[in-house]
A and B are shown apart, each in its own frame.
Chain A
Amino acid sequence: MDTSPLAIQVKGLHKSYQKLHVLKGVGFAVASGSIFALLGSNGAGKTTVVRILTTLLKPDGGTASVGGFDVLSQPARVRESISLTGQFAAVDEILTGRENLIMLARLRQVKDPRRVADDLLERFGLADAAGRRVSGYSGGMRRRLDIAMSLVGDPPIIFLDEPTTGLDPEARIDVWQEIQNLAAAGTTVFLTTQYLEEAEKLADQIAILHDGTIIVSGTLAELRRLLPPARVEYVERQPTLEEIFLATVGGGRTPSSDEEEQR
């Protein structure tokens, strides 16, 4: 099994908002360098978990360590190991894309903030828009800038809270590609999503948060084993609207075809 060190370890996490008991003993572990997807419907408490792990919220009970540091007793050390891309693009609308990145680079105290900013702008296809104010960016550009801002200073663990919600199919595939690049480079990615295919496509480990607890977790293959074995059925398959959209619009891009196979 997994012998790699754990990037995130959570045990018995509890959190209530007034009478609403959101987390009732959540536990999971994330291996270093893997992509971990936390699945759940709206309001399941995914964001609450992210906020606790990123030191924005204190749990009522249980323990959580991130990058080997306890979120309650060593929050400053946790913050040095992580970055957060929240549910809504946390970018400064009035600044330009480049200024946003330079600001982050200064706060992270990296050497040569301008060069770091220019490299990221290039990598995320924002070089042409670098000098424009973010208020004029499209949703996809904003999200790319948002993720680029999270990469300043190369934090080893990255939290992405519903990174593709509200994006068009092309922008979503761009984000997926970038997440895979990150993991390939050794970064641990903690992802929340309500899109099952997203978890299926990206994640090494999947956990499903429902009713305040993790009801199942494991690799995709392990989760599949929980269900009766697949039967072979012949179904005439029409192209999905996404495939049609990407075929007409996308040019070089082809949609991921492997996710259509099961079922």
Chain B
Amino acid sequence: MTTRVLSDTGVMLGRSLRHVTRSMDTIITVTIMPIAFMLLFVYVFGGAIQSGTDNYTTYLLPGILLIAIASGVSYTAFRLFSDLQSGIFERFHSMPIARSSVLWGHVLTSLVSNAISVVIIVLVGLLMGFRSSAGVLAWLAVAGILALFTLTLTWVAVIAGLGASSTDGATAFSYPIIFLPFVSSAFVPTDTMPGPVRAFAENQPVTSIVNTIRALLEQQPVGGDIWVALGWCVGVLVVAYAFAMVAYRRRIA
């Protein structure tokens, strides 16, 4: 049965990845908005922002990557919703395959396609002056946190894709997530914000994730932020996965 799960998931991943590579516009759409934000903040607002560092691009990059991932996962919801609409979902479910492979194919595709977006944005960041002296281990830790963040949001996307009744409905969940980094430490230090806003900003998940990635890239001690960040990601992941399974069972009834 395990080999069945692996081989079926492999077939599903191959299928879904072809959807990504055959519509590269989805990757471009996902990367262009974060890159535009990066240009806007570095070259327009950046001069006036007191970030407390001399390289604002480096300061900004972690938050930009999270925005990219938050908008990227909406395509998972879109692809899943399309599968449900087209009837291919039912075809797969009437076949003697490992049923879990149908969802995991989409989830793994999300990890791959978001990794591509992240690499593109980091390369653009390098052109704009992003620099990091972080070593291999620190980079691996950054990659791991971004992958976990992607996985978590992808399972949120699965709930949206399974539960939606329209394409717009399937992707709308990502808008609030895309805006979370703006009310966090991603663009400016939180200590200039008025009380309630600051309290929200400092206690929402994005701030701890941004602070962790920033510390890793700048070779600073990560402190307690990494545990808060991991706690948020794993906690939301577990809840999202549970709700996704409920939505899945309801859908296949």
Taking beta carbons and an 8 Å cutoff, which residues of A are in contact with B? 51, 54-58, 76, 79-80, 82-84, 86-95, 99, 103-104, 106-109, 133, 149, 159
Shortest distance from the beta carbon of B5 to any chain A beta carbon, whole Å = 12
Q: A79-B94, A80-B96 are in contact. Are A86 and B18 (CB under 8 A)?
A: no
B90 touches A84 (CB 8 A): yes
Shortest distance from the beta carbon of B148 to any chain A beta carbon, whole Å = 29
B90 touches A56 (CB 8 A): yes
Q: A84-B91, A95-B15 are in contact. Are A108 and B96 (CB under 8 A)?
A: yes
Taking beta carbons and an 8 Å cutoff, which residues of B are in contact with A? 7-8, 11, 14-15, 18-19, 22-23, 86-88, 90-97, 252-253
B11 touches A106 (CB 8 A): yes
A88 touches B96 (CB 8 A): no
Set of chain B residues within 8 Å of A88, measured between Cβ atoms: 86-87
| Other A-B pairs, 4, CB within 8 Å; known A90-B91, A95-B18 | A55-B94, A92-B15, A106-B11, A149-B91
B87 touches A89 (CB 8 A): yes
- A93's nearest neighbour on chain B, judged by CB, is B86
Q: A89-B87, A106-B11 are in contact. Are A79 and B95 (CB under 8 A)?
A: yes
Set of chain B residues within 8 Å of A82, measured between Cβ atoms: 94
Once the chains are docked, how many angstroms separate the CA of A106 from the CA of B15? Answer: 11
A86 touches B91 (CB 8 A): yes
- A85's nearest neighbour on chain B, judged by CB, is B91
Q: A99-B18, A107-B11 are in contact. Are A90 and B90 (CB under 8 A)?
A: yes
Once the chains are docked, how many angstroms separate the CA of A211 from the CA of B17? Answer: 45
25 A-B contacts (beta carbon < 8 Å): A51-B90, A56-B90, A56-B93, A58-B253, A76-B96, A84-B90, A84-B91, A84-B94, A90-B86, A90-B87, A90-B88, A91-B86, A92-B15, A92-B86, A94-B22, A94-B23, A99-B18, A103-B11, A104-B95, A106-B7, A106-B11, A107-B8, A107-B92, A107-B97, A108-B95
Shortest distance from the beta carbon of B105 to any chain A beta carbon, whole Å = 11
Set of chain B residues within 8 Å of A89, measured between Cβ atoms: 87
Set of chain B residues within 8 Å of A93, measured between Cβ atoms: 86
Shortest distance from the beta carbon of B90 to any chain A beta carbon, whole Å = 6
Set of chain A residues within 8 Å of B95, measured between Cβ atoms: 79, 83, 104, 107-108
Shortest distance from the beta carbon of B196 to any chain A beta carbon, whole Å = 44
Shortest distance from the beta carbon of A13 to any chain B beta carbon, whole Å = 15
Select which of B18, B94, B97 is within 8 A of A56 by beta carbon: B94
Q: Can you list the 5 inter-chain pairs with the closest CB atoms, starting with the nearest?
A: A90-B87, A90-B91, A84-B94, A79-B96, A54-B94
- A86's nearest neighbour on chain B, judged by CB, is B87
Once the chains are docked, how many angstroms separate the CA of A55 from the CA of B93? Answer: 8
Set of chain A residues within 8 Å of B7, measured between Cβ atoms: 106, 109
Set of chain A residues within 8 Å of B19, measured between Cβ atoms: 94
Once the chains are docked, how many angstroms separate the CA of A90 from the CA of B88? Answer: 4
Once the chains are docked, how many angstroms separate the CA of A89 from the CA of B91? Answer: 10
- A53's nearest neighbour on chain B, judged by CB, is B94
Set of chain B residues within 8 Å of A133, measured between Cβ atoms: 22
Once the chains are docked, how many angstroms separate the CA of A107 from the CA of B14? Answer: 12
- A105's nearest neighbour on chain B, judged by CB, is B11
Shortest distance from the beta carbon of A54 to any chain B beta carbon, whole Å = 4
Set of chain A residues within 8 Å of B92, measured between Cβ atoms: 107
Set of chain A residues within 8 Å of B88, measured between Cβ atoms: 90-92
Set of chain B residues within 8 Å of A90, measured between Cβ atoms: 86-88, 90-91
Set of chain B residues within 8 Å of A107, measured between Cβ atoms: 8, 11, 92, 95, 97
Set of chain B residues within 8 Å of A99, measured between Cβ atoms: 18
Set of chain B residues within 8 Å of A149, measured between Cβ atoms: 91
A57 touches B15 (CB 8 A): no
Shortest distance from the beta carbon of B134 to any chain A beta carbon, whole Å = 38
Set of chain B residues within 8 Å of A79, measured between Cβ atoms: 94-96
- B91's nearest neighbour on chain A, judged by CB, is A90
Set of chain A residues within 8 Å of B96, measured between Cβ atoms: 76, 79-80, 108
Set of chain B residues within 8 Å of A108, measured between Cβ atoms: 95-96
Set of chain B residues within 8 Å of A103, measured between Cβ atoms: 11, 14-15
A87 touches B23 (CB 8 A): no
Set of chain B residues within 8 Å of A51, measured between Cβ atoms: 90
